[in-house]
Amino acid sequence: MDDGAAAEYRAALEAAGLTSRPVAVLDLDAVDHNLADLRRRAAGKPLRVASKSLRVRRLLEHSLAAEGYAGTLAFTLPEALWLVERGVRDVVVAYPTADRPALARLAADDEARAAITLMVDSVEQLDLLDSAIPGHPDVRVALELDASYAPLRGVRFGALRSPVRTAAGLGGLARAVMARRGFRLVGLMAYEGQIAGVADVGRSAYRQAVRQMKARSSRELAVRRAAAVAAVREVADLEFVNGGGTGSLETTCREAAVTEAAVGSGIVGPGLFDGYQSFRPRAALHFGLDVVRRPAPLVATLLGGGWVASGPPGRDRLPTIAWPSGLKYAPDEAAGEVQTPVVGAAAGRLRVGDTVWLRHAKAGELAERMASYAVVRRVDGVPTVIDEWPTYRGEGLVTL
């Protein structure tokens, strides 16, 4: 964000009467640019929107209305039920559920069962579903294949997700599903987080090694995923094979076995996406905090700000300071629960009551801190607040 953009945001918010801080601003023009760029990168494959990376129902609906987008990849079953009640269709729950009350609601709702697909990766999960909703009507399920890269014994890159790695193992699980009453096997998922979710920009030896790992993992997974899909298709007619994420669209969508790819974070372009070599989304989501103290000539203190992203602890999980340029975190405090001191020459020009703009490291987690986003779009060339969209939290939904 440059000085001009900061001034435009300030003017747009003031014109709309939005003067309280913290405030979150969603730039809908940047969102639309990112949606189009993701579609281009997918090269014709449909894109399923990962709702946990948005957590704003109106933004999810806006994304699903765009060309090339179809279906939602939800976080939890209660979220999926909530979305279906509000008109969203074709919802795949990306993680297995043990939520017995939600399963009972699903079993009792014909419309929800037609729209929602549950994820399973073990017979134990099938047992839980049967015990939670005995004698249940047909429930749509999908299988998850472990997509991590394990080139050597004891060496692994990727998330600890499904225990099933091989085509034979996934084929066996598919047969176990088909042998039980009350389940319809309709899909398959494999998320290559070690490709889609790892930054790789830079010339350091580490970044070069990351790029090599990604390339080798992509080649290995393409062969293994194709074999797994073929094994499952021997016993079931699959409606979809979902793969990838924003960071791996090009390689995932080249695989003939994959019918659709998942995207989410790339729609808003969070701070962690500044570190990818092959693409760069526009930053569509910022949040502003008040300067409330000036404890020293080159220090300004913000109220709150400790909105640190999930994942391995590190500086890359801190919010990115977007404006004014040149600010840094005070090393002994960083982003704090009640205050965030920022330092540098730019801090000397800030005054009590000014706004400092930041970007969360991850796309959806800001929505857990805010009740709504101010939606900005250029109207006659001028950035204008055109609406306020409630977050999940603002609508009373806490995803987990």
Determine the pLDDT at residue 188: 98
Residue 225, both tokens: 């995923």
Distance (Å, rounded) from C-alpha 357 to C-alpha 288? 4
Quick check: 400 pLDDT over 80?
no
pTM, full prediction: 0.95
Residue 248, both tokens: 């791996």
Quick check: 100 pLDDT over 80?
yes
Do residues 95 and 75 make contact, with C-beta atoms less than 8 angstroms apart?
yes
Q: Residue 22, preceding bond cis, omega within 30 degrees? A: yes
Distance (Å, rounded) from C-alpha 270 to C-alpha 108? 39
Distance (Å, rounded) from C-alpha 98 to C-alpha 150? 29
Residue 128, both tokens: 């839980």
Long-range contacts of 196-201 (CB under 8 A, 24+ apart): 196/244, 196/245, 196/246, 196/247, 196/248, 196/252, 197/159, 197/245, 197/247, 198/247, 199/272, 199/273, 199/274, 199/275, 199/276, 199/316, 200/275, 200/276, 200/277, 201/274, 201/275, 201/276, 201/277
Pairing between β-strand 139-144 and β-strand 183-190 as defined by DSSP bridges:
parallel
pLDDT over 90 percentage in the chain: 93
Mean pLDDT on 245-261: 95
Do residues 28 and 375 make contact, with C-beta atoms less than 8 angstroms apart?
yes
Do residues 344 and 27 make contact, with C-beta atoms less than 8 angstroms apart?
no
**Binning pLDDT at 50, 70 and 90, where does residue 396 land?**
very high
Instruction: Note the Cα 23 to chain centre separation in Å.
Output: 21
Q: Measuring CA to CA, how many Å separate 144 from each of 6, 141, 161, 163, 232?
A: 44, 10, 8, 9, 11
Determine the pLDDT at residue 200: 81
How do residues 154-167 score in pLDDT, each as one tens digit? 999 999 999 999 99
How do residues 104-117 score in pLDDT, each as one tens digit? 999 999 999 999 99
If we measure between CA atoms, which residue out of 59, 22, 78, 108 comes closest to residue 302? 22
Quick check: 12 pLDDT over 90?
yes
How do residues 326-362 score in pLDDT, each as one tens digit? 999 999 999 999 999 999 999 999 999 999 999 999 9
Instruction: Note the Cα 233 to chain centre separation in Å.
Output: 29
> Residue 90: which residues within 8 A CB-CB, separation 6 or more?
70, 71, 72, 115
